[in-house]
Amino acid sequence: QVQLVESGGGLVQAGGSLRLSCAASGRTFTNYNMGWFRQAPGKEREFVAAITWSGGNTKYADSVKGRFTISRDNAKNTVSLQMNSLKPDDTAVYYCAAADRSIVLGTTKGYYAYWGQGTQVTVSS
């Protein structure tokens, strides 16, 4: 089983940037496709971005496309989410997630078996 720990959340003004990181431990990192989800108060947890085990393929939610970038460093067992041009609607708890390596890169919660504890991102207007 892989353990995931997020970091990098905080308070930022609209238009600003934050970089989230997720450190993985416990199993071989390249065994997993990785994803980021977020959950705002009173809302369902929603997909943000995902990346395959090799980093060769990525997917993004329409709401973040062009503003957020997912990347991974397999040598350091980390996956990152660079968030630019942040909006108040981006305020949420952001979760890192891992799914067993496959050709398919999933965007649903059920695709991911392992989750971190989350990190709060607050964007002020």
**Token match 């965007």: residue?**
107
Give the pLDDT confidence of 31-49 residue by residue, as tens digits: 999 999 999 999 999 999 9
Segment 107-113 shows an average pLDDT of 97
Judge whether residue 103 has pLDDT over 90: no
Q: Tell me the residue type at 95.
A: Y
Q: How confident is the model at residue 1 (pLDDT cuts 50, 70, 90)?
A: confident
| CA separation for the pair 28, 25 (Å, rounded) | 8
